[in-house]
Structure 1
Amino acid sequence: MSGADGLPIVFDGPLAVVGGGVVDPALLVELAGRGVALVGADGGGDAIGAAGLTPAAIIGDLDSLADRAGWERRTRVIHLAEQETTDFEKALYSTTAPVTLALGMTGKRLDHTLSALNAMHKFAPSRHLLLVDEVDVALAVIGPFSFQATKGERVSLYPLAEVSFTHSEGLLYPLDGLTLAPGGRLGTSNAGLGGRVEIVPADATPWLLILGKARLWDMVRANL
């Protein structure tokens, strides 16, 4: 069906919003098999279809979606014509879920990748977001966060805005008293010492915790 009535769409379990960038079809199949709902952000609906799956909905301005009429016979297609936001943002403000994965938001166009990072910053205060690419998973974090890391595991932090840290444990390079900022000092390629990692920022500024893609389900569980 078509239209924007009945928004936001409420998902009780994890949700994956799929864009038109680089998407691993096998991962989409795995997500569906684990009970993760799939929503296409405009042309991301075609990426879901190419994996042999049907999205729960397709949301966007629909300028990239092939065969809109065919999709409308199979699932809910929501046309949002406003041009103040990206299709990723449209999918985010039109849904709710306990944790949301974002796939296909990177890898083809740099402007889309940068827009996805901007959306992570914008929506981090209101929902748990994980940006997934071919190599990494990036969790948008507000406030303290702790997790288990193996010795030598790559742990990167990226500041979405200027953010200061009061304390850290379990990292090769401590963050105590450091300020990270775009255009300034970054937190690329830190490493776990083995065991519990704790990161404590000074305020509620969003930042990204970037780990290898193998940690995807650990981060999903941590946010559920």
Structure 2
Amino acid sequence: MINLTKNKPIVRSDEPIALIGGGQLGPDDLNLTLIRVNTVVAADRGAVPVMDSGLMPDAVIGDFDSLDGAYRDRIPADRLFPISEQESTDFDKTLRNVVAPLVLGVGFLGGRLDHQLAVLNSLVRLPDRPCILLGEREVVFHAPPRIELNLTPGDVVSLFPFQTVTGRSRGLEWPIDELVLEPTGRVGTSNRALAKVELSVDAPGLLMMVPRDALDEVMRAFLSGQTGQWPARAE
């Protein structure tokens, strides 16, 4: 549903939605995303690969500084939502203006490192917007209060804190119980799954990365209603 009310989400859905960026896309990334959703939102130039695939985005959000006019002119005016401020990225502008049980994002990882870091920063700053980002080799998401994943033994499970957190785990080769994870201290890269992984954390701020082929398992976990959800950050 598209919402035109000021200060309300632009897109609201009771089902997962796709969020397409204008960055690096692998040959199967777009199709892998689109077959799992019914609603497609583009962040600025992310409209281009969607339209090149023969589809029209349900909404396009951004400052439109990178969307070619030839594409913009083909998009119905009621699907264009310009946000002119330059203090945030198009990913941030888009994610904070959609509400759905889960957002599946593609076209935001790879390419320029500063862009990727800004995207990961937004994942942490918008803890009430569950979002899975599809990368070349992994999927990345902001760890919810708790999550259970049926992973293959030996799968790499990386935990990277953007702020200080503690937690508990089962099914990891190196448990995180009684550890303090923080961006300037201990991090949890290249841990490994032994079996089903169970993770709980005491606060928002932890990014979790698992193999790309675990995408459906991560989606299942988020849509199970058993992960809990972080509240929006106070402004």
Instruction: Name the TM-score, length of structure 2 as normaliser.
Output: 0.85
Within a 5 Å distance, the mapping from 1:47-196 to structure 2 comes to 47-67=49-69, 69-73=72-76, 76-124=79-127, 126-165=128-167, 167-194=168-195, 196=196
The unaligned stretches of length 5 or more in structure 1 are none
* Identity percentage of aligned residues: 37
Aligned partner of 2:121: which letter?
A: N
Following the alignment from structure 1 to structure 2, what is the Cα–Cα distance between the partners of residues 36 and 160? 32
What residue identity is the alignment partner of 2:17?
L
Aligned equivalents of 1:97, 1:24: Cα separation in 2: 25
Task: Give the CA deviation at 1:74.
Answer: 7.8
Note the alpha carbon deviations across 1:8-51, whole angstroms, 9 max, x for none: 21122111211111123533223323334221101111122233
Listed as ranges, the gaps of 5+ residues in structure 2 are 224-235
Cα deviations by residue, 1:174-198 (Å, 9 ceiling, x for unpaired): 111111111321111111112x221
Give a deviation string over 1:104-123, Cα, whole Å, max 9, x none: 11212111101101100011
Secondary structure at the aligned position of 1:170 is classed as: strand
Residue type of the partner of 1:188? T
Q: 1:38 to 1:24 in 2, by over 3 A?
A: farther
Structure-1 separation of matches of 2:53 and 2:146? 37
Match of 1:197 in 2: 197
Distance 1:217 1:188 in 2: 22
What value does the CA root-mean-square deviation take over the aligned residues? 2.0
* CA deviations over 1:187-216 (Å, ceiling 9, x no partner): 11111112x221232x22221111011011
* TM-score, L = length of structure 1: 0.89
Comparing 6-15 with 71-80, greater Cα deviation is found at 71-80
SS of corresponding position for 2:194: coil
- Report deviation, 1:53: 2.4
The question of whether the paired residues in 2 share the 8 Å contact of 1:21 and 1:105 is answered with yes
The corresponding residue for 1:40 is: 42
Indicate the larger mover: 66-75 or 42-51.
Answer: 66-75
**Is 1:139–1:219's contact at 8 Å kept on the other side of the alignment?**
no
Q: Retained in 1: the 8 A contact 2:148–2:221? A: no
Aligned to 2:212: 213
Alpha-carbon separation, structure 2, partners of 1:88 and 1:71:
22
1:107-142 deviations in whole A, cap 9, x for unaligned?
Answer: 121111011011000112x12111211111012113
For residues 64 and 39 of structure 1, the distance between their equivalents in structure 2, rounded to whole angstroms, comes to 16
**2:231 match:** none
Question: Partners of 2:32 and 2:117 in 1: how far apart?
Answer: 27
State the number of aligned residues.
Answer: 218
Aligned residues of 1:138 and 1:211 also touching (Cα < 8 A): yes
Match of 1:15 in 2: 17
SS of 1:151's equivalent? Answer: coil
